[in-house]
Amino acid sequence: MAKITIIGGGIGGLCTAYALQQRGYNVTLCEGAGTYQSLGAGLGIGANALKALEKIGLKQQVMEHSKVLRKMIIMSDQGKPITETDSLMVSERFGTDNVTIHRADLLLALRNALKPGTIVLNKRCVDFVQEQNGVTLSFEDGETISSDAVVAADGINSIFRRKLVPGSTPRYAGYTCWRAVIPVNDIVIDDLVATETWGPSGRFGIVPLAGGKIYWFACVKAKARDSRIAKYSITDLLSIFNDFHRPIPQIIQATDQESLIHNDILDIKPIQHYAFGRIALLGDAAHATTPNLGQGAGQTMEDAYVLARCLETAGDLVMAFKEYERKRLGRTKKIIKMSNQIGRIAQLENKGLILLRNFVLNKVPPTANMKRFEFLYDVDWD
């Protein structure tokens, strides 16, 4: 069986490694970091991604750490509902749930599923050369190794994409984001409902997690790489969101400065190819998207299953990678575009446009809203 090297030990690399091992491939996963740390915040796993995890064989491990949500509500800064999505409707129609999970818990579950020795830490790939029968990889520690094929799951700043698709640099979405995970304690929330609050000064999300915790995020329009904003404290964030409805100010006040994570929101303009001979781009390396559809991790999980399935059914590695590309290009491009559009609408600052937006969204029937996003869940990768 072919030797496949995966570059990148994030969600995509881990899911792909497991899926390929289940099909008998000799897999090595190279991760640049020297250790795995329990960092990160929360994330959503949509019904489509749970389907992919089920097909890979990882759903049970992930669900043990997940929180099932029943509803997603978008509200005004004064707490008035604008629109909502009923997850029960999704469950009844497509047979699976929308869930949330702490990123660290997800990564731990995925790592534990792999065969011992699969992951090589402190192994940062710095260059590669593709030949007719394989790929030679060069690492920061000076070692070079040869592999029959490479899955590049090395994130939005992928060295593989930069070399194979010149000019495909990350683009700034126009807003920056803070995230944190805190215990619920005496904060009053509905732990079956995720909310987003859209106001003129920014956007605030509250997402219940398992274990009595809350994941929250705050997005504000800003210049890219603004060093002043990067230094914002809890007090600064409270000044932005202090007039938002309860419990938003209380959640910010309950957050320790040390637990705050900040980064600009980026994506990648859709590229035309994910397969390059014996190299396949996967996850954020191929199609990084803004988080507005909650599909970043989910699309990576779909990639893992589709790639493994194509290797199972195609005649050779190169054909399998091209088939994977064919199956994934259109769907991921659509998600990047739609997520980008939602972000622009959500981050409106003009109060007149905000009133118009809220009025229009409030008039959309739930069934029409479901129809618009049906393509996310009604998917058949086989």
Of 3, 211, 18, which is closest to residue 107 (Cα–Cα)? Answer: 18
DSSP string, 272-296: S-SEETTEEE-THHHH---GGGS-H
Of 52, 53, 48, which is closest to residue 65 (Cα–Cα)? Answer: 53
DSSP string, 295-334: -HHHHHHHHHHHHHHHHHHSSSHHHHHHHHHHHHHHHHHH
Q: What is the pLDDT of residue 381?
A: 82
What is the rounded CA–CA span in Å between residue 233 and residue 255?
Answer: 10
What is the rounded CA–CA span in Å between residue 78 and residue 93?
Answer: 33
| Spatial contact of 102 and 215, defined as CB atoms under 8 Å apart | yes
Give strand pairing partners of 145: 137
127 phi, psi to nearest 5 deg: -165, 170
Give strand pairing partners of 135: 130, 147
Of 24, 91, 22, which is closest to residue 58 (Cα–Cα)? Answer: 22
Q: Chain centroid to CA 20: how far?
A: 21
Q: Give, for all 382 residues of the chain, the pLDDT tens digit.
A: 889 999 999 999 999 999 999 999 999 999 999 998 777 899 999 989 999 999 999 999 999 999 999 999 999 999 999 999 887 776 666 666 789 999 999 999 999 999 999 999 999 999 999 999 999 999 999 999 999 999 999 999 999 999 999 999 999 999 999 999 999 999 999 999 999 999 999 999 999 999 999 999 999 999 999 999 999 999 999 999 999 999 999 999 999 999 999 999 999 999 999 999 999 999 999 999 999 999 999 999 999 999 999 999 987 999 999 999 999 999 999 999 999 999 999 999 999 999 999 999 999 988 787 778 888 888 888 8
Q: What is the pLDDT of residue 96?
A: 67
- Angle at the Cα of 70 from the Cα atoms of 69 and 75, rounded to 5 degrees: 95
Pick the CATH number of 3-170+267-377 from 3.50.50.60, 3.20.20.70, 3.40.30.120, 3.40.50.620: 3.50.50.60
| Spatial contact of 270 and 287, defined as CB atoms under 8 Å apart | yes
Q: In what order do the strands lie in the sheet with 67-69?
A: 42-45, 98-102, 67-69
Torsion, CA 338, CA 174, CA 254, CA 10, rounded to 10: 60
Q: What is the pLDDT of residue 137?
A: 98
What is the rounded CA–CA span in Å between residue 329 and residue 187?
Answer: 42
This prediction has a pTM of 0.95
